[in-house]
Amino acid sequence: MLSPRSAKDISKFLSLVLRHEPAKLGITLDAGGWVEIDDLLLRSEKAGMKFDRVALVEVVETNDKKRFTISDDGRLIRAAQGHSVAVELGLVSLQPPEELFHGTTEQSVQSILASGLKPGKRQKVHLSLDESTAETVGRRHGRPVLLLVAAGKMHREGFEFWKADNGVWLTDAVPVQFLKVI
């Protein structure tokens, strides 16, 4: 079993190369964000980040946010969501729950209430199914503020929603009229 520090280091490394900077390893994600595990392991070792398939699978299976997905045949891996590089995850548009949540910080809330939620450097806006997850997300960068998103109403008005492999809800943007500070 990996030590928590090792698992955390591998998870952060995977997030970097599978979500944001695959070129750091000289890998190319396919259109769906997938990369061959054997190639990832080889290039990671050459870059000074050595871990084996057993450690990789353990990180994928034990990651509390379920950030990564291994293909059914066990050959490929990808980040479940959160990409700043262009990928098409192949998710099907779904009807969301009536309410979803977004965690942000005190310093960001006024800007959000003025112009809505936008994906920023990522491809989609990330929304949580429950308040506690949203609060954890908001707490990462300061004092958290929770926003209630009227996802059902948005959907009825034509906005699309997708659910990532790890349960995070995604949408292109959330206009101000669908937001409420909790």
What is the structure's pLDDT at 89?
87
User: What mean pLDDT is reported for the chain?
Assistant: 93
Class for domain 100-181, per CATH?
A: alpha beta
Angle, nearest 10°, between helix axes 53-62 and 4-15?
90
Confidence of residue 152 (pLDDT cuts 50, 70, 90): very high
Task: Tell me the CATH number of domain 4-79, given options 1.10.10.970, 3.40.50.300, 1.20.120.450, 1.10.3720.10.
Answer: 1.10.10.970
**Bridge partner list, 66:** none
Q: Is the pTM of this model over 0.85?
A: no
What is the structure's pLDDT at 1?
62
Domain boundaries, the chain: 4-79, 100-181
Dihedral Cα 144, 145, 151, 153, nearest 10 deg: 180
Q: Do domains 4-79 and 100-181 have the same CATH topology?
A: no
92-105: pLDDT as tens digits: 999 999 999 999 99
